[in-house]
Amino acid sequence: MQFFYSSKDKVSKQPADEAATSTPSEAADASAASNEKPAKEQEDFSKYFQGLNLIDVQSDEKEAVNSRALARWEEDFRAQPKNVLSQNVFAQTAIDQIIAKSNPAAKLKDRFLFNTTVETIGSTSFFNNQKSSGRCWIFAASNLFRTAVIKNYNLKDDEFQVSQSYVFFYDKLEKANFFLEQIHETAAEPLDSRLVQYLLAGPVGDGGQWDMIINVVSKYGLVPYEAFPDNSQSTNSSKLNYIVTEKLREFAIKIRELVAKKAPEGVIRDFKVAAVQTVYKILALTIGQPPKPTDSFVWEFANKDGEHKHFKTDPLDFYKTHVKLDAANHFSLINDPRNPFDKLYTVDRLGNVYGGKPIEYVNTEIEEIKTVAIKMLKDNEPIFFGSDVGKFGDNTTGVLDSTAYDYESAFDFKLENNKADRLRVGSSLMTHAMVITGVHIDPETKKPIRWKIENSWGDQTGNKGWYLMTDEWFNEYVYQIVTTKKYASKKTFDVWKSKEFSTLPYYDPMGSLA
C-alpha cells in the first residue's frame, strides 16, 4: 500500500485491488492528478507507515478509535490464525520467555567464554550484594578499590572487601546538606516550580555517580568492611530513605519561610546546621556510627602466603596508603548521541558534597569507549561502567543481549527507536553501575563479541554473580565508562582537562544516578 502527501493535508490511500497492480510511480501520478498537483511536488510519506496495517479508512472518520474501527480491527485480527494461537500462549507464559531465541547460534554467542580478562577482581559472593538498596555505584567503585588492595597485599579474593556502608553513610549525610543548600539558593522560586519540585522529589536517594565517589573518598577516605559492616538498614534502605526525605522536606518548608521573613543569614545557617545534625542522628541510629576520617583503627589480615600483617591507620590514610587508587585521576567517558561529541558536559544542580567536584562527562563515540575499555582490560584494569541494565536481560542466565528476543515473530513489528531517540523520549537512561572484567575478541576480525561483568547482586543471580553483555547490547545500552589519562586518547583527555563545560539541565537523562 502506497501513501502520498495530499494537498488537503491528509494521507490518501489506494484501493487494495489497484495497489496490487499499479507501480509506485503510477500510484503517485494517480494521487497527484486527483489533487491537481504535479507528482514531483508530492512528498512520499510511505516510510512512516512501514510495519503498520491501515485498513478500511473512512474519509469522514475523525476519531481513530470508534465502534466501526474496533469491528474492523477485530475482524482483521481474527483473520490471522497465528494471532489466536499467540493469544493463548501469552495468556499462560511470560512475554520474555516466549520471545527469547533458543537457537544454537544465539546460545553459542552468549556463552561465558572470554579470551581477555583481568587477573584480580575479588569474589562475587564476599560482601558483594547490595540487596534491597540502590547502592550499585558504591559497590562497583568498592570492587575497584578492593581489587587494588588485593593486588597490593597478595590477599585472597574471598577474604577482603572495603566497606560500602561507610561510603553510604557519608554520602547520605552530604546529600542532605547539599539539598538544604539548594533549597536555600532557590527560595525565591515558587514551591510548585519544576526546579523546586525536582529538588524535593528525591533529596537523598541511594544512587550516585563516579564523581560523587571522588567527593566522598577524598573527604572521608575508606575503611575495610569489618571496620563498618552492612546492617539491616543499609541493605534494605527504603524506609530509611522515607524518614530522611520527609524530615528534609519539612526543613525545606522552614528554610523557605525563614527566607520569606527575611531572617538574618546567620539564623538560616544555624538552622541548616541543626537540620543536618538531625539527619546525622537518623543515620547513626539506623546505619550505625562510622569512624570519622581521622579516627584510628587497626587493620589485620593474613595474605595468600599465610603472612600476618598489622597496620594502625585511619580512613583517610587507609585510602591513600593502602588502597593506592586515586579516584580523582579517573574520569567518565559517555556515549550520548543526542549531543556533540568531544565536549565536556556537566549536569545542573547534580552532586552530593556541596562545593565539591561537579559531575564531569566527556562525550565520545561508542567505538572510542570500546577501544579504551579493551586497552584497560588488556592492562589488567577492571572498569566501572553505567548502563541501562533493565533492557533485554535475563537475571537467571546473566545474559544481556539485545538480539536475543524475537519481537517481530510475536508482534509483527520491531522496536526501532535508536539510542538517541530512546534518551529523548525517556525510554532509556543509566540505571545501574557494574564492573567490566573481561572481553571476548574475535581472533579474525579483532572486534569484541561479548563482555564479562561483575555485578553486585550476590552469587545467586546470573552465572554465580557474573553477567555477560553482547557487543550489540554494549552499543545500545552502555552509557559510561570510567578511565584515566593512560588509556584515553590525547584529544579526549584534553577535553576533560579543559574544564570547559556545557551544562545539561537538571532534568536531563544524563543526570540519572546509577
Q: Are residues 418 and 505 in the same domain?
A: yes
| E strand or H helix that includes residue 448 | strand 448-454
- The domain boundary, picked from 307, 322, 337, lies at 322
In angstroms, the CA 136 to CA 456 distance is: 6
Q: Are residues 274 and 334 in the same domain?
A: no
Q: Are residues 310 and 344 in the same domain?
A: no
pLDDT band for position 3 (cuts 50, 70, 90): very low
- The domain boundary, picked from 29, 47, 82, lies at 82
Q: Give how many domains the chain has, as a whole number.
A: 3
Q: Quickly list H helices, 51-207.
A: 67-78, 81-90, 95-99, 104-109, 136-153, 164-185, 194-201
Q: Flag whether 156 is in a domain.
A: no
- Higher-confidence residue of 513 and 35: namely 513
pLDDT band for position 62 (cuts 50, 70, 90): low
Q: Are residues 493 and 415 in the same domain?
A: yes
For 448-493, the pLDDT digits (tens) are: 999 999 999 999 999 999 999 999 999 999 999 999 999 999 999 9
Q: Flag whether 272 is in a domain.
A: yes
In angstroms, the CA 511 to CA 198 distance is: 12
Q: pTM, whole model, 2 decimals?
A: 0.90
How do strand 343-347 and strand 331-334 relate by DSSP bridges?
Answer: unpaired
C-alpha cell at position 211: 564523581
Active site residues: 136, 432, 455
Instruction: Give helix 265-286 / helix 238-260 axis angle, nearest 10°.
Output: 170
For 247-286, the pLDDT digits (tens) are: 999 999 999 999 999 999 999 999 999 999 999 999 999 9
Q: Are residues 334 and 310 in the same domain?
A: no
Q: How does DSSP classify residue 401?
A: -
Q: Flag whether 125 is in a domain.
A: no
Q: Are residues 317 and 331 in the same domain?
A: no
> Grid cell 574544564 — which residue?
499
Closest-CA residue to 27 (of 10, 39, 36): 39
For 103-150, the pLDDT digits (tens) are: 787 778 899 999 999 999 999 999 999 999 999 999 999 999 999 999
**Count of alpha carbons within 13 Å of 312, Cβ hemisphere only?**
1
Q: How does DSSP classify residue 318?
A: I
Q: Are residues 297 and 334 in the same domain?
A: no
Q: 137 CB contacts (<8 Å, ≥6 apart)?
A: 207, 208, 209, 210, 212, 213, 386, 433, 513, 514
Q: Quickly list H helices, 261-400.
A: 265-286, 315-317, 366-378
Q: How far is CA 209 from CA 141, 332, 385, 447, in A?
A: 10, 10, 10, 29
Q: Flag whether 130 is in a domain.
A: no
For 353-379, the pLDDT digits (tens) are: 999 999 999 999 999 999 999 999 999
Q: Flag whether 503 is in a domain.
A: yes
C-alpha cell at position 364: 565520545
Residues of the chain above pLDDT 70, percent: 90
pLDDT band for position 56 (cuts 50, 70, 90): low
In angstroms, the CA 235 to CA 133 distance is: 6
Closest-CA residue to 155 (of 216, 225, 229): 225
**Residue 131 φ/ψ region, left for φ over 0, alpha for ψ in the -120 to 50 degree band, beta for the rest:** left
- The domain boundary, picked from 33, 48, 82, lies at 82
Q: Flag whether 440 is in a domain.
A: yes
Q: Are residues 295 and 347 in the same domain?
A: no
Q: Are residues 315 and 449 in the same domain?
A: no
| E strand or H helix that includes residue 476 | helix 471-477
Q: Are residues 273 and 390 in the same domain?
A: no
Give me the CATH number covering residue 440. Answer: 3.90.70.10
Q: Are residues 26 and 73 in the same domain?
A: yes
Domain hosting 289: range is: 161-322
Q: Are residues 404 and 488 in the same domain?
A: yes
pLDDT of residue 34: 44
Q: Quickly list H helices, 303-347.
A: 315-317
